[in-house]
Amino acid sequence: MPVTVTYWAEHAWIDPAVEPGVAIEVSDGRITAVRTEVPTPPPGAVTLRGLTLPGLANAHSHAFHRALRGRTQVGSGTFWTWRDVMYQAAQNLTPDNYFALARAVYAEMALAGITSVGEFHYVHHAPGGTPYGDPNAMGEALTEAAAAAGIRITLLDTVYLSSGFGEPPNRHQLRFSDGTVDAWADRLSAFKPADAGDVRIGAAVHSVRAVPADALATVAAWAAERDAPLHVHLSEQTAENDACRAAHGCTPTRLLADHGVLGPRTTAVHATHLTDEDIALLGGSGTGTCMCPTTERDLADGIGPAAALQRAGSPLSLGSDSHAVIDLLEEARAMELDERLRTRTRGHWTAAALLRAASADGHAALGRPDAGRLEAGALADFTTLALDSVRTAGPPPRLGAETAVFAGTGADIRHTVTGGRHIVRDGVHQLVPDVPRALADSIAALTGGR
């Protein structure tokens, strides 16, 4: 019979308000009861001092990009020059060193309050494109790494067939490609993760430049048949829009719409450079949008029309993408502050709405609509932010949501619980004892210490 564990939160954000003294009862990985007005910890309860939030969802990750942090900040350049450095890191990946790196990266996420990640995975094969003996060895490395770090993963297995409209993959991209969309579907259909309980398998279209138009419907059908999430990089660069118009006479968004890719299970990542018609197509179809502000500003992509997309009907989620930083509170803050810079007005989202994008709406984008809320029946995933750090001290607890979003950082996370398991306790990861060392060692192994 499952054991019931009680966590007592000094303060908890129960959307949309902060409540003092909240007892959260957990059994078999789910919340069974949430009781407010509990002034002191019940006997035997685990005490969580600070503000407890639903576990955060990182809806867009490329785990191996974490090895680029600091290395791409030297000098100037564009997205395209950054991409050349990324290719060099990708060439050195193996299933073993990718497991080690991803385990450390996902542990860093847990330390930042993240309980679920959407891994946009496209490094499928050995350099040159030769499949491994297990064609899904790289995907298996990622799902096992997430389990070892104590977080959930939605593996968004990515189709990547072209270097551009009508062009074959370049030498760097050969290991990303299955050759044909049918070969991609066959490989992915055969993938049975070892730890299936905390794993979701979804699909991804890398971009309209990397997936020929006549293959888009196959990817959409694969996801639809399995009720799986479907993600796509969309209009991150104006060059993609220009090339799509030249090849197809329309924007990337229109091309996706015409081939059945858009819809409520689909999430467009970035969606930075859109027309009014694009915004209407995404919102009208219920397609979600994942904004990645720290990467978008790091790569000088631009500021996407997040507020307009949400008004049109597109649910918003957040991701750390290239992991220039891993901090979902910073992503939430940046989405609001970027919109303030763009419009020169304040207050486009409430703190509650931004927390929702970082939690419930992000989990939904990853195929987990039962996560991201502190309520009975939800997955027992939550995280606790200190309210007495140098960043968060001062405001009254009733303003905890505002404090978390506009002052807090991942460094203020004290506890992370996933499926009822206390993964981060008092700021220490319980499964990966020295996360900085694990990161340093795995990155050095990948880069040769350069």
Which residues are catalytically annotated?
270, 321
* Residue 352 burial by Cβ neighbours in a 10 Å radius (0-12, 13-18, 19+): middle
CA distance 211 to 176: 12
Three-class SS string for the chain? Answer: CCCEEEEEEEEEEECCEEEEEEEEEEECCEEEEEECCCCCCCCCCEEEEEEEEECEEEEEECHHHHHHCCCCCCCCCCHHHHHHHHHHHHHCCCHHHHHHHHHHHHHHHHHCCEEEEEEEECCCCCCCCCCCCCCCHHHHHHHHHHHHHCCEEEEEEEECCCCECCECCCCCHHHHCCCCHHHHHHHHHCCCCCCHHHEEEEEEECCCCCCCHHHHHHHHHHHHHCCCCEEEEECCCHHHHHHHHHHHCCCHHHHHHHCCCCCCCEEEEECCCCCHHHHHHHHHCCCEEEECHHHHHHCCCCCCCHHHHHHHCCCEEECCECCCCCCHHHHHHHHHHHHHHHHCCCCCCCHHHHHHHHCHHHHHHCCCCCCCCCCCCCECCEEEECCCCCCCCCCCHHHHHHHHHHCCCHHHEEEEEECCEEEEECCEECCCCCHHHHHHHHHHHHHCCC
| CB 306 within 8 Å of CB 335 | yes
What's the Rg (C-alpha) of the chain?
21
Q: Please state, as a whole number, how many other Cβ atoms lie within 10 Å of the Cβ of residue 40.
A: 9
d(CA 328, CA 400): 16
Four-residue CA torsion sign, 139, 140, 146, 149: negative
Q: If you search the block for the tokens 């979804």, which residue do you land on?
A: 202
Distance of CA 348 to the CA centre of its chain: 22
Residue count of the chain:
450
